[in-house]
Structure 1
Amino acid sequence: MRVHCLVLLAAAIVSATDAVTAQALPEEQNLSRFLRTHKATKATQDNSEERVSFAGIEFKLGFIDDILEQMHLSSTFKELLAKRGNAEKAYKAFKVDEVVDDVFQSSQWKEWAEYVKYVAVRNKENADEALAAAMSVAYKPDGLSKMLATAAKNPDTIKIATTLENAQQSRWIRGGFTPNAIFKTLKLDKADDIFDSPQFATWTNFLKTYNIENPKKVVTDFEVLSSTFGEQKFVKLLASADDSPYAQAMNKQLVQSWIDDVTHPINLFARLKLNEGDDLLTNPILSTWVQYMKAFNTEYPKQATTMIGTFTKTYGDEKLALMIREATKSSDKKVVEFATNLQTAQFNQWMADKKSPKEMLKVLGINSHKLSETPLGGVWRAYNKEYTKKLAGGDFAFQP
């Protein structure tokens, strides 16, 4: 008779008592509560041991122990039962920690799983939830999530993966854990490329279940991520995953939240700390700001602003011109193209402001006698050329 029969027998006997399943504990706590056993001594066992009725016959819970003696169990299994070994000790005793690949298909894991479930049922606990808890301790919640994702792809282990995934979700719900707490439990606040990770899939499933179970306390994924990372880190996270449909949808929500708050692009520019450092044109979150600026200008045309206007107000003509010049030397063709277009916009702004090449020498801090020695000498020459081309009759063909 296989060990699995023990679990079924124990489940049948325990179910006859109509016992209430105990609440699951978080991973950080010891599993002793899940694996507690009846501690009545042999001298008082006959009088104090709980009795149950099944199929019209009354049994003592110790009856299961009597059956064990008649079954073909491994010596390790029997020894652990005799010593009331918990799941953590059993994990090492069955040498599950030595299994490297295909854990769920190993004989070590299968025997350990049966042991954990047997003890849980005997203690009137949910067997699958007890195993999920034990697995979480052994592999950590995030590690277990990865294991289940892999197991779900294998026809031989998909049933195990589904059962454990559901059990994990159930014990989190019954344990009163919030989406924010589980997000951190799965270490998603420290993960890279989180949107494509198994842990994120586990978390989104939990979020759906949580909201179904708590209709008056609905929590959104946007709320959890934005509060966990903070605005700037959240924007960076979305920008780094801009090829992810999930991140794209989240980014739209972010932009809309700014629109709803009527946040002016110039204020948001500073809030996102885009006004700090010299890497503006290669900053990954700049594209998000530009996206917002366009949306803002459409929504509030009377308060519209421009990219070059915001950059100039923040950095000034000279520093911005230098930043653009450096970006044109980038090995990234997209950065070069962006910088070139931005330089054209800057020149057009200068001409719109009627700044002559002669005036721009002073604005850019250039000594007309040392054009070749200054980094912005080439920028000035390019502007002088454009000015001459577009403003014929003005102060063109200026020779310093």
Structure 2
Amino acid sequence: MLETAKKIRKTRSLAVSIQTEQIRHWLRTKKRPDDVFVLLKLETAKARLFDQPQLNTWVRYVDAFNNANPTRSTTLFSVLNARYYDEALAKMLVVAKSSGGSAGSLANRIQAEQTRYWLSVNRTPGAIFEMLQLETLGTNFLNHPIFTAWVKYTDDFRKKNLGTHLSTLTTLRVYYSDATLAKLFTEARKVTKTAKIGRRLEAELLREWSLAVAPPALIFERLKLGNGGQKLFESPLFTMWTNYIAMFKKANPRYKDDQLATLLRSYGRRELTLMLILAEKVPSTKDIATKLRGQLSGL
């Protein structure tokens, strides 16, 4: 009621005065933040917590309590963490953040407290991935707000644990094949909303392969490019593989096998020649097809 009255100009001043006195009363009577949470009936809100106008009153009280009791200070997250499962609270915060306004700002604050807690107990990115049940999203996770929140946590984890091998990509590779991830990343690059994360994760995947000294021929197999058929050269995965060859050769100058050799082993000279002739007729693949066909003619 007070929060509603604060939004009306005629009653705003009185509402603020009453709320301030109420908070002082709770402080004088040594109410804990959890006690006030119950007094405001916030425990009955459950998943709709951030829709409750009295939530702002509780936040004000927690801040006042911490100022008055520096040795007993607490956080909004610690109170909520005792009442909600990690997964449920994390998802509530993501939804509240997307709504913007005061609820969004508050959710940002609590999420930051949640992150600090997880980091303090050294929760791994994999543990948080499982807790958030991100694997249940299938292959539609890149544009999901929960995934974005998880990526942010993983980045924070890596900053705290310098040199760790744990990352967004190493976790994803536990649940998805390289072929699936490569396809998802290349597709994500085409969409404005996911282009940035798509480019980042594709670069990380190429780097992981390079660090593992995975030969281009092996990556060709992992990406199932041997099944590309006549459309092989139009595939974003073929372009990704081509980029990897350049990266691998730069890091391994003694590497002699080339792109054409791998293609010949997979398709044979006759089929590859036909594929290249057809690819030369497509504007987007004409250059690479002409180059490879020239190399093939020289063998």
Q: TM-score, normalised by structure 1?
A: 0.51
Closer/same/farther in 2, CA of residues 113 and 138 from structure 1, 3 Å limit = farther
Structure 2 distance, partners of 1:113, 1:292, is: 54
Aligned residue number for residue 140 of structure 1: 88
Q: How does 1:156-171 map to 2 (within 5 A)?
A: 156-171=102-117
Task: Tell me how far 1:290 sits from its aligned partner.
Answer: 0.4
Closer/same/farther in 2, CA of residues 202 and 281 from structure 1, 3 Å limit = same
Aligned residue number for residue 178 of structure 1: 124
| Contact preservation (8 Å) 2:276, 2:290 | no
Choose the corresponding residue for 2:145, options 194, 198, 204: 198
Aligned residue number for residue 182 of structure 2: 235
Unaligned runs of 5+ in 1: 16-34, 36-63, 78-85, 98-102, 118-123, 330-335, 354-400
| Contact preservation (8 Å) 1:135, 1:144 | no
Amino acid at match of 1:199: I
| Contact preservation (8 Å) 1:148, 1:165 | no
Task: Tell me how far 1:204 sits from its aligned partner.
Answer: 3.6
| Contact preservation (8 Å) 1:132, 1:168 | no
| Contact preservation (8 Å) 2:264, 2:272 | yes
Once the two structures are superposed, residues 292-322 of structure 1 have per-residue CA deviations (whole angstroms, 9 ceiling, x without a partner) of 1122334444433443332122111333344
Identity within the alignment, % = 19
| Contact preservation (8 Å) 1:141, 1:185 | no
Choose the corresponding residue for 1:308, options 252, 260, 263: 260
**Which structure ranks higher in relative contact order (CA pairs < 8 Å, sequence separation ≥ 6)?**
1
- Give 1 or 2: higher helix fraction: 2
Q: How does 1:325-364 map to 2 (within 5 A)?
A: 336-345=282-291, 347-353=293-299
Aligned residue number for residue 268 of structure 1: 219
| Contact preservation (8 Å) 1:324, 1:339 | no
| Contact preservation (8 Å) 1:142, 1:185 | no
SS where residue 225 of structure 2 aligns?
A: coil
Aligned residue number for residue 110 of structure 1: 55
Amino acid at match of 2:270: E
Unaligned runs of 5+ in 2: 1-17, 63-71
Amino acid at match of 2:184: L
Q: TM-score, normalised by structure 2?
A: 0.64
Once the two structures are superposed, residues 210-243 of structure 1 have per-residue CA deviations (whole angstroms, 9 ceiling, x without a partner) of 4566568674334333344343333223222336
| Contact preservation (8 Å) 1:308, 1:345 | no
Q: How does 1:41-60 map to 2 (within 5 A)?
A: none
| Contact preservation (8 Å) 1:239, 1:284 | yes
Aligned residue number for residue 91 of structure 1: 45
1:319 matched to 2:271? The reply is yes
SS where residue 316 of structure 1 aligns?
A: helix
Structure 1 distance, partners of 2:119, 2:172, is: 20
Structure 1 distance, partners of 2:278, 2:283, is: 12
Structure 2 distance, partners of 1:202, 1:7, is: 38
Structure 1 distance, partners of 2:266, 2:165, is: 40
Task: Tell me how far 1:138 sits from its aligned partner.
Answer: 11
| Contact preservation (8 Å) 1:145, 1:199 | no
| Deviates further, 270-279 or 138-147 | 138-147
Query: How much is the aligned-residue C-alpha RMSD, in angstroms?
Result: 4.5
Choose the corresponding residue for 1:257, options 208, 218, 226: 208
SS where residue 234 of structure 1 aligns?
A: helix
| Contact preservation (8 Å) 2:280, 2:287 | no
Amino acid at match of 2:178: E
| Number of equivalenced pairs | 264
Closer/same/farther in 2, CA of residues 164 and 180 from structure 1, 3 Å limit = same
| Contact preservation (8 Å) 2:169, 2:201 | yes
Task: Tell me how far 1:6 sits from its aligned partner.
Answer: 9.0
| Contact preservation (8 Å) 1:328, 1:339 | yes
| Contact preservation (8 Å) 1:238, 1:251 | yes
Closer/same/farther in 2, CA of residues 198 and 306 from structure 1, 3 Å limit = same
Structure 2 distance, partners of 1:175, 1:302, is: 45
Amino acid at match of 2:243: Q
SS where residue 207 of structure 1 aligns?
A: helix
Once the two structures are superposed, residues 173-228 of structure 1 have per-residue CA deviations (whole angstroms, 9 ceiling, x without a partner) of 45653211212333444366755543344224423544566568674334333344
SS where residue 275 of structure 1 aligns?
A: helix
Amino acid at match of 1:314: S
Choose the corresponding residue for 2:77, options 129, 135, 139: 129
Task: Tell me how far 1:105 sits from its aligned partner.
Answer: 5.0
Task: Tell me how far 1:136 sits from its aligned partner.
Answer: 5.7
Structure 1 distance, partners of 2:201, 2:233, is: 23
